[in-house]
């Protein structure tokens, strides 16, 4: 059994509720009598992988006392259209205040998990990891990377301080692949590997000779990838990156790369369809 290790979301939920509620829910104040209690169901409207379900309770708690949330599926589980993923009870005013913020988070994160699972499924059998990138949406980095894990993917570095990835612009600024790799190896913290982006097979050879511990093949064609994997011969981790789609990912995996990074997992998220229905309690 797996745990996905939800990051601290206190500030994010506060921010999200503040930008949705402002000084309060005007429509509900005017139309819903204060004492009314209700229950609500959140239902999947399409096939999806659920991610972010624990946030529903957190959002409700932040909206006031007295609401309870029952999660009906496990985080990371596949969910069929029509399935209830959570049941809520509490004051109608609280449930209505929480509705949009909770759904926005759940639809976005489940969208990421669902797409990630599609990529993971597409490379099944190749022992190749699908990983995310730093191409995330402002403020959502930790949650988006959590959702990638829920979908069966792995995380690339989280920030600029927890990994070394020498990219094209670093190579320009430092005077070449060898110089950059050797400088990085000399100063790298002992727990962190040095990875370098290579645009050509010549770059790959230079990086290997300099001692790179991981090599990112940037926008290479399949044949060059295969050659690169052979050149590396297990001496470094090989990552493929650059415009890889659900259509092309299996061919990329077949080249023997260990890691495929997909920016679209987090920068171009399709929200999956989930909705909440409210019922008055008698």
193 in catalytic set: no
Minimal distance, residue 29 CB to a copy of itself, in Å = 5
With CA atoms as reference, report the closest residue to 115 among 257, 238, 270, 227. 270
Strand partners, 277: 41
Catalytic, 145? Answer no
- Among 83, 158, 199, 201, the residue binding a copy of itself under the rule CB under 8 A is 158
Phi first, then psi, for residue 137 (nearest 5°) are -95, 135
User: Which residue in this structure is represented by tokens 């997909």?
Assistant: 262
Is residue 162 among the annotated active site residues?
A: no
Residues 206-265 that bind a copy of itself (CB under 8 A): 214, 237, 239, 258-259, 263-264
242 and 212 Cβ atoms separated by less than 8 Å: no
Binds a copy of itself (CB under 8 A): choice among 72, 73, 83, 188: 188
Find the shortest distance in angstroms from Cβ 73 to a copy of itself. 16
Stretch that binds a copy of itself, among 11-19, 77-85, 115-123, 199-207 (CB under 8 A): 11-19
Of residues 22 and 233, the one with the C-beta less far from a copy of itself: 22
**Euclidean distance between CA atoms 36 and 80, whole angstroms:** 32
Residues 82-141 that bind a copy of itself (CB under 8 A): 92-93, 95-97, 99-101, 103-105, 107-108, 111, 129, 131, 134-141
Tell me how crowded residue 7 is: count the other CB atoms within 10 A of its CB.
12
Active site residue 45: no
Q: Which stretch binds a copy of itself (CB under 8 A): 9-17, 113-121, 204-212, 223-231?
A: 9-17
Closer CB to a copy of itself, 183 or 231, in the complex: 183
CA-wise closest residue to 7 among 183, 143, 126: 143
Near a copy of itself by CB under 8 A: residue from 72, 192, 231, 254: 192
Would you say 32 or 201 has its CB closer to a copy of itself?
32
**Pair type for strands 214-218 and 129-131:** unpaired
**In angstroms, rounded to a whole number, what is the distance separating the alpha carbons of residues 230 and 232?**
5
Binding-site size for a copy of itself (CB under 8 A) equals 110
Residues 49, 99, 280: CA angle, nearest 5 degrees? 110
Q: Which residues pair with 241 in a beta bridge?
A: 218, 261
How many whole angstroms from its chain centre is CA 263? 10
133, 242 Cβ separation under 8 angstroms: no
Interactions with a copy of itself, residue window 37-76 (CB under 8 A): 38, 40
Q: Is 167 in the site for a copy of itself (CB under 8 A)?
A: yes
- Tell me how far, at minimum, the Cβ of 264 lies from a copy of itself, in Å: 8
Residues classed as catalytic: 100, 135, 167, 197, 218
């Amino acid at each position: 059994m797996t745990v996905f290790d939800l990051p601290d979301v206190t500030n994010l939920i506060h921010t999200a509720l503040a930008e949705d509620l402002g000084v309060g829910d005007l429509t509900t104040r005017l139309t819903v009598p204060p004492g009314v209690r209700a229950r609500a169901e959140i239902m999947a409207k399409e096939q999806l992988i659920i991610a972010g379900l624990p946030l529903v309770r957190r959002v409700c708690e932040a909206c006031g006392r007295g609401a309870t949330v029952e999660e009906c599926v496990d985080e990371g589980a596949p969910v069929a259209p029509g399935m209830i993923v959570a049941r809520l009870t509490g004051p109608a005013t609280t449930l209505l205040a929480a509705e949009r913020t909770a759904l926005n988070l759940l639809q976005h994160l489940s969208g990421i998990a669902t797409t990630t699972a599609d990529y993971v499924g597409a490379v099944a059998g190749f022992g190749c990891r699908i990983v995310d990138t730093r191409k995330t949406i402002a403020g959502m980095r930790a949650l988006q990377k959590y959702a990638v894990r829920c979908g069966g993917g792995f995380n690339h570095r989280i920030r600029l301080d927890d990994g070394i990835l020498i990219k094209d612009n670093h190579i320009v600024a430092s005077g070449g692949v060898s110089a950059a790799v050797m400088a990085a190896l000399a100063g790298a913290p002992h727990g962190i590997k040095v990875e370098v982006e290579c645009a050509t097979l010549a770059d790959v050879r230079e990086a290997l000779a300099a001692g790179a511990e991981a090599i990112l093949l940037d926008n290479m064609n399949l044949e060059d990838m295969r050659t690169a994997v052979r050149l590396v011969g297990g001496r470094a981790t090989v990552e493929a990156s650059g415009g890889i789609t659900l259509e092309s990912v299996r061919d990329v995996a077949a080249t023997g790369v260990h890691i495929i990074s997909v920016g679209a997992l987090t920068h171009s998220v399709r929200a999956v369809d989930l909705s909440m229905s409210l019922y008055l309690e008698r």
